Chains A and B, each alone.
Chain A
Amino acid sequence: MCTMIATQIKVAGSGKAGNGWFTLGEANVSYDHPFEAPFEHALSLDFVNEALGPSARVSVELDVASARQLVDTINAILAKADSGGYIVE
């Protein structure tokens, strides 16, 4: 690991991989070398379920601008849903 900038959070939801949908357990967020995206470093999101084994994984690798835009968009969408009274926590 050349940056070792990584963290894991627990998540609830579902992810779809090659074998179909599975229940998510964790999300790994890192900024390190990507496996596929053509950058030296990428913001990687790996939605996994460690209890189901390493192949239970949905992965994306984003450049920094895309990652920032994604965060802003998620927050904006959640804020809109919240203001509309749709979110009950």
Chain B
Amino acid sequence: MQYATNQYEGMIAETIVIPGHNGDPIGAYVARPLGPGPFPAIVVIHHMPGWDEWYREVTRKFAHHGYIAISPNLYHRAGHGIPEDIAVQVRAAGGVPDDQVVGDVAGALAYAVAQPTCTGKVAVFGTCSGARHAYLAACRAPGFAAIINCWGGRVTMEPQELSPAQPVAPIDYTKDLACPVLGIFGEEDSSPTPPQVALLEQALIAHGKTYEFHMYPDAGHGFFYYDRPAYRQAQAMAGWKQIWAFLAQYVG
């Protein structure tokens, strides 16, 4: 939504603790619009560099646009410090287990739905590994109304890429997906490559899923990140426009 200059606007943004996978307490950053609502919600899943400043900003951006936004700290169990140091530790350990991620995201979904100002409609958003996790959660944690996959790498996986922590390629859960998918990708990305995006699209078609993919030229991996050389202003703004339209259509 766009606020008019004479319209009340406010939000509360804070860190909280929610029950995650197996009831484990995990941190979450919540930004929620003030006012009676009702507001739709979105779970915002952080990327490989961790539960960092960009993700806090994006969580508030969704709240600014009228969504109760919650970003769970998927690296909570790795300890605490600056996000980068924690991310290095998680990377060295082989990443977070997929089952744990799905449980943590389900916890964030449950928190959002339980808010008295929530409409009950909840989307899930992620970039990079966060988009892979978003796809997994949308397939395996019932209740999401929409998923936004921004350049999710390793949604398709070769057999040699599977591991005990990540035993199934997310694409193989596509039949269980129960909500529409928005895909935002760059033509110059090497993870996912355009052929990998095409494989995902074929799976969605084969299973009769609702989706829309946008593949941007002259854009690589992470082209929304204004703090990285990969940033592409025009493509990023076009991508955000697609996100708002998609959310308005499917989540409210």
**Which residues of A approach B to under 8 Å, CB–CB?**
1-4, 6-8, 26, 28, 30, 32-33, 35, 38, 40-41, 44, 46, 48, 50, 53-55, 57, 59
Which of B20-28, B36-44, B89-97, B116-124 lies at the interface? B89-97
Report 11 cross-chain contacts, Cβ distance below 8 Å, ordered by A residue: A2-B48, A2-B128, A2-B191, A3-B191, A4-B94, A4-B163, A6-B94, A28-B88, A28-B92, A33-B48, A40-B220
From residue 63 to 93 of chain B, which have CB atoms closer than 8 A to chain A?
A: 78-82, 84-93
Q: Give complex CA distance A33, B49 in Å.
A: 8
Chain A residue at smallest Cβ distance from B96:
A1
Contact call A54/B88, Cβ cutoff below 8 A: yes
The bracket for how many chain B residues form the interface is 20 to 34
Q: CB-CB < 8 A to A55: which residues of B? A: 81-82, 85
Q: Are B86 and A54 in contact (CB under 8 A)?
A: yes
Q: Decide yes or no: A4 and B92 within 8 Å by CB, A53-B79, A54-B85 being known contacts.
A: no
B94 touches A2 (CB 8 A): no
Q: Give the distance in Å from the alpha carbon of A55 to the alpha carbon of B86 in the complex.
A: 8
- Which B residues lie within 8 Å of A53 (CB)? 79, 81
Residues of B within 8 A of A (CB): 48-49, 78-82, 84-95, 128-129, 153-154, 161, 163, 166, 190-191, 220-222, 228-230
Which DSSP category, helix, strand, loop or mixed, fits chain B's interface?
Answer: loop
Supposing A2-B153, A57-B85 touch, asked if A38 and B229 sit within 8 A by C-beta, the answer is yes
CB distance from B184 to the nearest CB of A (A): 15
Task: A28 to B92: give the CA distance in the assembly, Å.
Answer: 6
Closest chain B residue to A2 by CB distance? B153
Q: How far is the CB of A31 from chain B (nearest CB, A)?
A: 11
Q: Which residues of A have CB within 8 Å of B153?
A: 2-3
Q: Which residue among B88, B220, B228 has the maximum number of chain A CB atoms within 10 Å of its CB? A: B88
Q: Which residues of the other chain, A, contact B166 by a CB distance below 8 angstroms?
A: 4
Determine the chain B residues whose CB is within 8 A of the CB of A54 once the complex forms. 78-82, 85-86, 88-89
The residue of chain A having its C-beta at the shortest distance from the C-beta of B78 within the complex is: A54
Considering the chains assembled together, what is the distance between the CA atoms of A41 and B190 in angstroms?
9
How many Å from the CB of A34 to the closest CB on chain B?
Answer: 9
CA distance in complex: A38, B90 (Å): 22
B50 to chain A: closest residue by CB: A35
Give the distance in Å from the alpha carbon of A26 to the alpha carbon of B128 in the complex: 27
Beyond the given A32-B91, A38-B228, could you list 5 further A-B residue pairs with CB under 8 A, ordered by the A residue number?
Answer: A1-B90, A1-B154, A6-B91, A40-B220, A54-B86
B95 contacts across to A, CB distance below 8 A: 1, 4
Cβ A30 vs Cβ B92 within 8 A: yes
Interfacial chain B residues near A28, Cβ < 8 Å: 88, 91-92
